[in-house]
Each structure stands twice: as C-alpha cells, then as structure tokens.
Structure 1
Amino acid sequence: MTDVFNAVPTSQLQSKWIWFVGLGVLLLVCGLIALGNLMLATVVSVYYVGMLMLFGGVTYLVHAFQVRGWDHVLFWVLSGLLYVLAGICAFINPILTSAALTLFLSLALVVAGVFRTWVGMRMKPTRRWRFIVASGVITALAGFVIALGWPVNSLWILGLFLAADLTIQGWTMIAFGLGIRSGPVDSGASAPLSDRSF
C-alpha cells in the first residue's frame, strides 16, 4: 500500500514532463538571448532588482503603520524609504545602479571566498579539504578580478551572471523533464531476495 502512495506523485509528474522540457527550452533561449546582448541583460537584471526593492520598500512602509511605538515606526519608515529610493534609482539610472551592484558582488565574492578558504584550512585533517580551499580561492579570485575591472565591467557582469543562471536553469529543467519521462528507476533489482516475488 505504501508503494502505491509513493508512486502517485511520480506518475503525476511523469504526465507533465513536456511542461518541464518546454520551460527549460524557454529559459535556455532567454539565456542565449541574454548572452548575445550582455548590456541589455544587465539593464534587465537591474530593473528586476529595482522592482524587488520597490516591493520591499512598500512592504516596510505598510508594516510601519501596524507597529506601536515611535522608535519602531521610525525604523520601519526609514527602511522603507531607503528601499523605495534605491528602487527608484535603479529605474532612473540603471548604469549607476549596475556599477554599485557589481562592486557589491565583487566584495561579496571576495568575502565568501576568503571565508570558504578559512573553513577549508580548518578542515585540514579531514579528506577532500583541498577542494574546499580551492573553491574558496577561485571564488575570491573571481571577486578580485571583477573588482579590478570595475566600473567598466559593470556594463556586462550582471548580464553575464543572468545569462549563465538562465542557461543552467534551462538545461536543468530539460534534463529533469526528460528524466521523469523515462519513469522511476526500477527498485526490484536492489531489493533483497526474500522480498521478490517469483
């Protein structure tokens, strides 16, 4: 009875495999379009961040009138106004915003890479610690290279990240859709002899 309940979600997914493949193809096409025009993709990503900031700012402002105490209201109002102003700035001057976001991205990569390298060095007695250190060094170097090319590279770095993300997500969805189309893996081969029916 348990096997029947476990098979229901898989069969429902299996009947919709074409939707996953279609979504993957759409994401892949969008990724290739973004890769073909990185500056436009950068502007699109800045507008996306701007919309998120505007939405967050409006949410903060609405929440400000639901809390008690002037100190709490002032905090939420100032936070909301800051988010709204940042979102408006993203729409008014996307080039300046892309430069700020690229600088923030480079700093975040450097900090994450240094922290990952430090964690890897502390795991030195364990196996595979060199892989963690290597990934940390590569991440930190990527952030350092982006910082060296700033602000000129801010015209295409965010677009490149967006294009890479869309392409990876597209291939992932296509692989997932084709994978569930072929059905679940036969678990009979791994079952013990006593559980098999002859």
Structure 2
Amino acid sequence: MSPDDVEVARAVEERQKFRRELRHELEAIRGRWGWLMALGIALVVFGVVAMSLPLATTLVTALALGITLILGGGAQLVGAFWTRDWSGFFLVLLMGVLYAVLGVLFLNRPIEAMLALTLLLAAMLLVGGAFKTIASAWHQFPQWGWVFAGGLLELALGLMIWLEWPSPASLAVIGLFVGIDMVFSGWTWIMLALRLKHLGDRHRHATPAPAA
C-alpha cells in the first residue's frame, strides 16, 4: 500500500472508531431522553424570555459574572497561598486580586461593566468580520461565499452596535445574545433527546419478546 492509501485507511478506521464510541455513549444514556427533552424545552423557554427582556437579561448576566469572578478570584488567592513557595506565586496572586476586583466592579457597577463588554464585543465583530471578508475574497476556497456573507453580517452587526453605543439599545445586545445562545443550546438538547428516543424505540422493537 502507498503512503496515501495508509493515511486513507487510518482516517477511515478513526472515523469508524469514533462512530462506535459515539453509539456506545448514546446507548448508555438513551433511557434518560425525557430528562434531556425537559432540559432542552426549559432552555428554549428561558431563552425566549431572555430575548424578550434583553436589558434585564444583561443585568442578570453582569451580576452572575461578578459573582463568578469573585469566586474565581478567591480560589486563585487560596491556591496562591497554598503554593507560595512556587516561582509563579506572585502571578497567581495578581490574577486572584484582578479577578476579585473585576467581580466587585461588575456587582457595584453592572451597567458600566456591560457597556464595556458591549464595546469589546463590537470591536471583536468588526475585526473578525473584516478578517473573514478579506481572507475569503482573497483565497476563494470552496464555499467561500458563505464565509464572505458571514463576515459582512459580522461587520454590519459590529458597526450597528458601535454606532448605538452607549445607548440602551446597545446594552441590550448582551442579553439578546444570551437568549439566542440558550435557544440554540435548548434546541440541540431536544434534537439529542429525540435521537435517543428513536434509538430506544428501535432497540425495544428489535428485542424479542420473552417466551411464555
């Protein structure tokens, strides 16, 4: 066999191995499809609520981030004192203090903190959109048109946020994105639950009934 044939055979074997492992994992949790379905539906409902109340969702997100940063900073500080003889002690200590300070800022001034995050999001969309449009138009790889269109969409969205900042409309973007992410995550869980239910039904029909 040529080296190319060996690589192809290895790739096919890896793909088959991945499918076997995935099938085994799905078989292991197929009886819990109802819980996963409930989780997916709950996420979709909460996501729709978040999208309909984006400003409130943004505020809740800021408070949750603040609490998370404070807890993370506390863990970093504890870890730093546990390893104070380590050469990276001051770096871990500095990161812990930084996390804690940012967490306090998020809790004390959530609106200003989310405005800063919104501006950062706009800058990331503008830079990422520009890179995608230029790179896809330059290289014109297969299906480059979709990447080009996605880059234009990111540019338009980033520019819209940038021009609206710091109005309440720009502040609602974070909450809207959180809601959209929850809806997509919930839909993914629902699809997985339906797949597991299908596997369970097929297994039940394939299993012969016990003899009387």
Please confirm whether the aligned pair reaches a TM-score higher than 0.5, indicating the same fold. Answer: yes
2:165–2:171 contact (8 Å) kept in structure 1? no
2:69–2:99 contact (8 Å) kept in structure 1? yes
Equivalences for 1:1-198 in 2 at 5 Å?
Answer: 8-65=24-81, 66-68=83-85, 72-124=88-140, 126-152=141-167, 153-183=169-199
Matched with 2:207 is none
- Extract unaligned runs of 5+ from structure 1: 187-198
How far has the Cα of 1:4 moved from its partner? 9.6
1:115–1:136 contact (8 Å) kept in structure 2? yes
TM-score (norm 1): 0.80
- Extract unaligned runs of 5+ from structure 2: 1-16, 203-212
How far has the Cα of 1:45 moved from its partner? 1.1
Distance 1:139 1:74 in 2: 39
How far has the Cα of 1:97 moved from its partner? 1.0
Aligned length: 182
Residues 1:68 and 1:27: Cα distance change in structure 2 (over 3 Å): same
Q: Deviations over 1:37-87 (max 9, x none)?
A: 2111111111222233223322332333315477x4333323221211111
Identify, as 1 or 2, the structure richer in helix. Answer: 2
Percent pairwise identity: 29
The code of the aligned residue for 1:113 comes to G
TM-score (norm 2): 0.75
Q: What's the secondary structure of 2:142's corresponding residue?
A: coil
CA RMSD in angstroms, aligned pairs only: 2.7
